[in-house]
Structure 1
Amino acid sequence: MLATASLLAQTADLDLVIRHVLAGLGHGLHAGRERGAGVEFSEYRAYVPGDEWRRVDWKLLARVDRYYVREAERDSHVAIWLLLDASASMAEPSRSIEGLTKLWFARTVLGCIAAVAQRQGDAFGLIIAGQDRVAFTPASRGPRQLHKVLAQLSRVEAGGGLPDEPMLRAHLHFARSPSLIFAVSDFLDWPSPLSEALLRLRHLSHDVRLLSLSTQAEKDASFASGGAYRDPERVEGLHRFDAEAKAAYRSARSAHFDAVKTQCRQHDMPLLTASIEQAVGTVLRRWLQLAGRA
């Protein structure tokens, strides 16, 4: 698994990585398309007693001498939104897999979701929050939209802080229509302008689903003893990791994420926590399954 992850992390072609991850995944994003006598043709299926005769394809009957019903789908008009935290803390690298960072993992997962959305025929858009600003790609459908979103994800670099609340709020105009939001961050800052934006979207009855990423070293405090660390989003101070500091770090981290999980439960926002050393496909599958139970 580590060999595969290392190989993927060294691959610059995001589209190639996504096709590797999605091979055999077979999961959708939502049940937002209704089968029935709609206007968009989907597929044929064998006639069963109780089907409406007007849905039988009589031309096909003449060719194959069997009754088939035309299935169609009605688009639920649910747009998929991908929200990426690209602040400086997302540049944090794995201590065991060369080339792997939280940002690499996040953009790969969101790229996979964009590919699934395109395959389903959903409209999807991208919001990147980092460098103290917002980059916004409006929602659209089709292969051209997928290429545009993947290009944006490929170019993004982690840096700076999250944009402030007024700036984020100004980019939530897409929330006028029903939306499904997949947001990826390390959520080290909570509450934050990002968490407030996500809660606002949830209060507007949108479906908000979160993925919280960390490195394995962050999870178990397996930093080198005596080493020093500076918060990339703050200028003040160095943090040293002796035994006492590690114990305090574990306690503070546990309390922080307990509070995050509690608030997510209170507001019905499915949250998955994962380390970037895990297989991308495994995390993606778990996230989609978790979201599907919401």
Structure 2
Amino acid sequence: MAATGLSTSPSRHSPTTARADDARSLAARLPDLLVAARRVAANVLLGVHGRRRAGSGETFWQFRPYMPGEPARRIDWRRSARDQHLYVREREWEASQTVWLWADLSPSMDFRSDLSPVSKLDRAVVLMLATAEMLARGGERVGLPGLVEPQLGRNAADRFAAALARAENLPDWPDIRGVKRFSELVIVSDCLSEIDTIRNRCRAVADIGATMHLLQVTDPAEESFPYDGRFEFRDPESGALWLSESAGSLRERYIARLAAHRGEIALSARKAGSTFGVHHTDRPASEGLLFLHSSLSGTPLTRSGAAPANRA
């Protein structure tokens, strides 16, 4: 069990490995994960617009109804002449923003049950790289806290992959001292830390004046607890083992505790002005990326596989 008592890592599914071996294994998989991330980003970008918002710029965005008190010079008289309402022509905000991305690579993420085609860790990396690819194409400044300074450029995913290939023993949570006010922070994690730790982290981001988008990645076995009979569980962080003679008898309590833990995360995120969603590794990666794109755009999705906080 992990520290929260929510992680299910049966020894038959997730053998103990050294962190150095894990890092080398991830480095070897990164080229394939980068290709998968680009494919996911390309598929999502076909069906969505960029992070379009009103602001100063030259590109027309949309017409909207005129609001009393606005300067009359903002009225588009040609459009308003078509019917009985006054309309304002809005331009798209063109200033690039800074978005920091982080994937939890701690031992609890290196888990895959027989119910999922990929591990939580691989899915988190794909989602982070796909988000970097998507944002870079949209002209945003993208960075990886402590590893890659935010830059403009379409090669963000390549820079992130290269940094991950060199890194070892990365924590589950980034060093946010370099995150500035008005920037955005995307975290992809299984969120199995103690709830007090998560609350403090949400508050710390809010205190900076940044906006966080937290996506919890879980294996379907962690949702349903499909274990019965005699089962040995392993803490992925410490390697400690715990033997249950009747694993099935734990299911109801486990599911209730998981729901309570997730509810506390959602509440902490809302209080901090953050978004929170859940993504399951047996669902397409595109669903998780769509949730992140929508959260960054200010229009959270309500869909299976990437549920917003109010459905957590």
TM-score, normalising length: structure 1: 0.70
Q: Which amino acid aligns with 2:194?
A: W
**Could you report, residue by residue, the CA deviation over 1:60-96 in whole angstroms, capped at 9, with x for unpaired residues?**
xxxxxxxxxxx99641x42010022111100011323
**Contact 1:111 / 1:153 at 8 angstroms: preserved in 2?**
no
Question: Structure 1 pair 13/273, CA: closer, same or farther in 2 (3 Å)?
Answer: same
1:36 aligned partner: 57
Residue 114 (structure 1) aligned to one of 123, 129, 132: 132
Q: Which amino acid aligns with 2:158?
A: H
1:95 aligned partner: 114
**Contact 2:199 / 2:265 at 8 angstroms: preserved in 1?**
no
User: Tell me, what secondary structure is at the counterpart of 1:23?
Assistant: helix
**Could you report, residue by residue, the CA deviation over 1:246-269 in whole angstroms, capped at 9, with x for unpaired residues?**
222122212211211122222221
In the aligned structure 2, how far is the partner of 1:119 from the partner of 1:206?
A: 22
Aligned-pair CA distance for 1:273: 0.8
Aligned-pair CA distance for 1:162: 4.2
Query: Is the counterpart of residue 226 in structure 1 residue 226 in structure 2?
Result: no
- 1:132-171 correspondence to structure 2 within 5 Å: 135-153=146-164, 162=172, 171=175
Question: Structure 1 pair 224/35, CA: closer, same or farther in 2 (3 Å)?
Answer: farther
Residue 174 (structure 1) aligned to one of 174, 178, 195: 178
User: Tell me, what secondary structure is at the counterpart of 2:163?
Assistant: helix
Q: Which amino acid aligns with 1:83?
A: W
- 1:5-84 correspondence to structure 2 within 5 Å: 12-26=31-45, 27=48, 30-31=51-52, 34=55, 36-37=57-58, 74-75=94-95, 77-84=96-103
In the aligned structure 1, how far is the partner of 2:42 from the partner of 2:176?
A: 33
1:293 aligned partner: 299
In the aligned structure 2, how far is the partner of 1:289 from the partner of 1:204?
A: 23
| Cα root mean square deviation, aligned | 3.3
User: Tell me, what secondary structure is at the counterpart of 1:251?
Assistant: helix
- 1:268-287 correspondence to structure 2 within 5 Å: 268-287=273-292
1:207 aligned partner: 211
Aligned-pair CA distance for 1:224: 4.6
1:85 aligned partner: 104
Q: What runs of 5+ residues in structure 2 fail to find an aligned partner?
A: 1-28, 61-75, 79-90, 301-312
Higher strand share: 1
Q: What runs of 5+ residues in structure 1 fail to find an aligned partner?
A: 1-9, 44-48, 52-70, 128-134
2:190 aligned partner: 186
Q: Which amino acid aligns with 1:86?
A: L
Q: Which amino acid aligns with 1:20?
A: R
**Contact 2:190 / 2:218 at 8 angstroms: preserved in 1?**
yes
**Could you report, residue by residue, the CA deviation over 1:143-192 in whole angstroms, capped at 9, with x for unpaired residues?**
344321122345667x68647xxxx5xx3232234211111111111336
